[in-house]
A and B are shown apart, each in its own frame.
Chain A
Amino acid sequence: MDNGDNVPALEFAGLVKRFGDNVAVDHVDLTVPAGSFFGLVGPNGAGKTTSLSMAVGLLRPDGGAVRIFGRDVWADPVAAKALIGVLPDGMALPDRLSGREVLLYLGLLRGMPREVVAERADELLQVLELDGAGGTAVVDYSTGMRKKITLATALLHNPRLLLLDEPFEAVDPVSAATVRTILQRFVARGGSVIFSSHVMALVERLCDHVAVIAKGTVVASGPLDEVRGGQPLEDAFVDIVGARTGGAEGLTWLAS
C-alpha cells in the first residue's frame, strides 16, 4: 500500500455532508500530494472546516471517503489517526490544566513513554514561547496562546500530516513567524501540511499547492502558479469564486 511518495498525504473522494436541506460539502474531490504545503482557501461557509472535520474523525460524512496515506479514516481510524496532527478552530482544551499538563496528558494518551513526552513537551513550550506561562491554566490563556498550545498538541507525536484550520488567526506577528518557521521545517523534512486560511498573502507565501472551495465544491485546485495564473492569489480568488467586491457605491453621509 505504501509505495513511498506516490501515496497522497490526504485524499477526499466524493465527500458529501448535508445539514438538513443545506448541502455543506457537495462531492468534494481533492488530492494533497505527500510532502506538500497545501493551502485551502474559500469564502466563509464554503465548507473548509466541514471538510477538514470529516478528514480527522470529528464529523461523520454522509457519502464519499477520506484517505490518509492510503488508509481510510472511517474504515481504519486507528491507523489513519496515528499519522495526523490536528489544529481545529475554536475547540476547547481541558481548561483547568496547565499547558504542560495538557501535553503530558495527550502524549500519555497516545501511548508514548513518559520521559519522551516530558522532554518534547518542555521543548515545544520553549520554542512556542509558552514556557513563561508556567502553571497558568489554559482557561486563562489569551487566544493566541491557546492556538499555540493546540498546535503543540498537534506536533507532539511527530505526525506525518498536519491539518490546521485557520492556524494564524489571532496570533501575533512574532508568534506567527515562529509557527511559519516550524511548519516550513516540517515540510522540508518530508512532512505534509494542509491548512485553511482567509489570508491570501500568507497562503501565497507558504504554499506550493492550493485549492479553492466555494459553496461546498472545489472550484480550482493544483500547484500554486497554475491556480493563480500570473495574478496575485487574492485577485485570482475573487475571479474564481465569482464574487463581486462592493464598497464603491452609497454611504454618501460617511465622513461628510
Chain B
Amino acid sequence: MAGVLIEMRGAILRRSVSYHGASGSRGRLIGGLLLALFVTLLAVGTLLAGLVHYHYPGAGAAVVATLSFGWLLGWVTGPLLTGDDATLRMDYFKLLPIPARKLAFAMLGAAFANISLVFSLIAFAALIALGAQSGPAAALTGAAAVLLDLVLAVVASTVAIAVFGPAISSRRGRDFGTFVLALVITLLSLASGLVPFVAKRLTGGHSPVLTAVVKILPSGWGAVAVDAAGRSDWGLTGLALGGLVALIGVLVLAWPPLLARRLTMSARGGGRAAHARREREPILPSTPLGAVIGKELRMYSRSVLRSVMLMIAFLVGVLAAVIPAFSGKTTGLPFAGLLFTVIAAACFTNFYGDDGTSLWLTLVTPGAARPDVRGRVWAWFLVTGPAGFLLTVVLTAASGQTWSWPWVLAAEPALVIGAAGLLALIGVRSVNGPAPDGGPAPARVLKTHLALVALPIVTVAPAAALLAAGTATHDVALRWLAVPVGLAWGGYLCWRSVRLAQQRLERQGPEIFARAHASVS
C-alpha cells in the first residue's frame, strides 16, 4: 500500500509541475533549481564541517551536533511550511475504511520517498567524515549514525504533521506555519553572523553549556556516538546509538494512534469570538484615499503574513547590526534602520499579487484606481517610515559613530520615500499570484531578493555619489549636501512612480486582475 501512496504522490507532483504553463513553469523551474543549489551548498558545507580538525577535543562533535540540529529542525518544520505535506493531504484519507495501523505504516513508508533525503544524506555524511578522523571503527559508527539520523528525520517529520496537523490545514494553522517560517528565515539570514560566533565558542571550548545542550538533544546523539567511538568509549557509543533506535521506536509506535486522532479531528479552526468594537472617532479623512489607507493599515496589523514580514525585517535589521556590537564592532549600528527599510520594502513588492482576487472591488468601483495606489503607498510609508527613521537615529546616536550621520540622514529618507513609490510601480507591473499550494510563488521570492539589491541602489545612488565624493575629498559640506539631494531624489522617484502606477492600474486593471488570480483558480 505504501507503493500506492508513493505513486499518488508522484502523480500529484507531476501535475502541479505541468499545471502552470510556459511562464509559470519557467519561474518554478528557476526557483526550484536555485533552492536545490542552495540546499546542496548547505549540505556540502555541513559535510565539510565534519572534516575539519579542531584543537579542542570534542569540538568537532559539538559542531556536527549543532549542524545536525539544524537539519533535523528543517525536517520537522518543513511540513509546517508547506502546509501538511502538500502532496499527501490527510484529508484525502479521512473517509476511507482503511485500518489506522495499515494506513499509518503505509504513510510512513511513503514518507521515505522524498528527494530531500539525498541532501540530508550528504549533510549527515559529516558524521562519517568526523569518524574517519579517528579511525575505521568510528567511521563505521558514523555510517550507522547517518542511517539512524535519516530515519529519525523522516519519522519525526511525519509525526510532527500529526501533532500539529489540525492546526495546519486551517487558515489559522497556515498563519502559525508562516510565523515559524519567519523565525527560520530570520535565523538563516543571521546565520552568517551567528554561526561564526557560535562556532568559535564551541570550538574554543568556551561554552560548556552550549556544548552540553547540543549533545543532549536527540539530533546530537549521532555525533556523540561517533565521538565516543573515536575515543573507544564503546559504552557511550552503544548508549547513544541505542538511544536513537529507542527514540525512533517510540515515535513509530506513537504514530498510528496520533494519525487516528488526526484523521478524526475536524480541520476547521473555528472563528474568532465576536467582541463588541468600541466606536472610535475616525482619525483618517472620510475620503476614498482615507478609506484605502484605513483598510491597508488594518491589514498590516491583522494579517499574519504582513506582520510577520515586518517582524522579519525588524529582527534582521536590528540583530544584524547589534550582534557584532557584542564583540565590540559598532560600525554596523547606524545602518540597522536602513537594513530594516530595505527588507520591509523588498517584502512588499507584490501589492496586487498578494491581494489576490480582492482587486475586483477596486476595478468595479468607479475612480478607485488612483486613491488605491496612493493609499497603499501612504500606508506602507506610515508603517515603515517612522520605525526606520527612529531605528536609524537612535542606533546611530548610541553607536557613537558620528562620521555616519550624513550617510544615514541622506540614505534613509531617500530610501523610504523612493521605495514607497517604487513599490507601487513594481506592484502594478509585476504581479505574482500565490502558488497552488497557497505558499509564495518562486517568481515572487526571486523578485523579493532582486528588490533587496535593486531598491537601495536606485533610491540612494545620487546621495551615495555625493557622499563618496565628499569622503574622498574630505569635504564635509559635500557630504552634508547629500542629505537634501537624497530627499529630493527620493521625493521625485516617489511622485513619478506613483503617477506611472496610477496610469497603469487605470488602463490595465483587468489584465493585472487576471494575473493576480490566475494561480488561485
The residue from B272, B287, B513 contacting A140, defined by CB atoms under 8 A apart: B272
User: Mask for B263-297, Cβ within 8 A of A = 1, else 0?
Assistant: 00000000110111100001000111011101100
Say yes or no: A96-B302 contact (C-beta < 8 A), given A108-B290, A114-B286, A134-B275. Answer: yes
* Interface bin, chain A: 35 or more
How far is it, in angstroms, between the C-alpha of A215 and the C-alpha of B499 when the chains are bound?
41
Q: Is B134 part of the binding interface, using a Cβ–Cβ cutoff of 8 Å?
A: no
Q: Which residues of A contact B272 (CB under 8 A)?
A: 135-137, 140
A93 partner, pick from B286, B358, B366, B510, beta carbons under 8 A? B358
Asked whether any CB of chain B lies closer than 8 Å to the CB of A127, the reply is: no
User: In the complex, A136 Cα to B171 Cα: how many Å?
Assistant: 14
Does the CB pair A91–B357 fall under 8 Å? yes
List the B residue with the shortest CB-CB distance to A140. B271
B336-379 CB contact bits vs A (8 Å, 1 = yes)?
A: 00000000000000000001111011011111100100000000
The residue that B360 contacts in the complex, of A58, A97, A136, with Cβ under 8 A, is: A58
User: Residues of A contacting B365 with CB < 8 Å?
Assistant: 81, 106, 109-110
User: Is A188's CB within 8 Å of the partner chain B?
Assistant: no
In this assembly, does B315 line the interface, its C-beta being within 8 Å of a C-beta of chain A? no
Interface membership of A254, Cβ < 8 A: no
CB of A129, distance to nearest CB on chain B (Å): 13
CB <8 Å contact, A136 and B274: yes
Give bound CA distance, A10 to B516, whole Å. 28
Distance in angstroms from A102 CB to nearest chain B CB is 8
User: Which of chain B's residues has its CB closest to A59's CB?
Assistant: B510
Q: How far is the CB of B49 from chain A (nearest CB, A)?
A: 43
Indicate if the CB atoms of A109 and B291 lie closer than 8 Å.
yes
Instruction: Give the interface size bracket for B toward A.
Output: 35 or more
Determine if B298 is an interface residue (Cβ-Cβ < 8 Å). Answer: yes
> Taking A91-B357, A96-B303 as contacts, is the C-beta distance between A133 and B363 under 8 angstroms?
no
Cβ-defined contact, A109 with B292, below 8 A: yes
Q: List the B side residues contacting A96 at CB < 8 Å.
A: 298-299, 302-303
Q: Does A104 lie at the interface of the complex (its beta carbon under 8 Å from any beta carbon of B)?
A: yes
Q: Interface centre among B290, B292, B358, B514, by most A CB within 10 Å?
A: B358
A77 within 8 A of B: yes
Instruction: Write the chain A residue with the least CB distance to B368.
Output: A109
Q: Is A221 interfacial (CB 8 A cutoff)? A: no
| Least distance between A245 CB and chain B CB atoms (Å) | 29
CB distance from A15 to the nearest CB of B (A): 14
Contacts of B511 in A (CB 8 A): 60
- Neighbouring B residues of A137 by C-beta, 8 Å: 272, 302
Q: Which residues of B contact A94 (CB under 8 A)?
A: 295, 299, 355, 358, 361
Q: How far is the CB of B177 from chain A (nearest CB, A)?
A: 16
User: Cβ of A98 < 8 Å from any Cβ of B?
Assistant: yes
A132 located at the interface, meaning its Cβ lies under 8 Å from any Cβ of chain B in the complex: yes
Question: Of B275, B276, B294, B355, which is within 8 A of A105 by CB?
Answer: B294
A106 to chain B, nearest CB (A): 7
Q: How far is the CB of A131 from chain B (nearest CB, A)?
A: 10
- Report B-chain residues with C-beta under 8 Å of the C-beta of A140: 171, 271-272
Do A98 and B277 form a contact, CB below 8 Å, given A58-B510, A88-B360? yes
Does A182 have its Cβ within 8 Å of any Cβ on chain B?
no
* Residues of A145-186 contacting chain B, CB below 8 A: 153
| 20 further interface pairs, Cβ-Cβ under 8 Å (given A106-B361, A108-B286, A141-B271) | A57-B364, A57-B510, A58-B510, A59-B510, A60-B511, A81-B366, A91-B357, A93-B358, A94-B361, A96-B298, A105-B295, A106-B291, A107-B291, A108-B288, A109-B371, A110-B365, A114-B286, A133-B274, A134-B276, A135-B272
List 15 A-B pairs, Cβ < 8 Å. A57-B510, A60-B511, A84-B364, A86-B364, A92-B358, A94-B358, A97-B295, A98-B277, A109-B292, A109-B361, A110-B366, A133-B274, A135-B272, A135-B275, A141-B271
Contacts from A to B (Cβ < 8 Å): 56-60, 77-82, 84, 86, 88, 90-98, 101, 104-111, 113-114, 132-137, 139-141, 153
The 3 closest A-B pairs by CB, nearest first: A134-B274, A108-B291, A140-B271
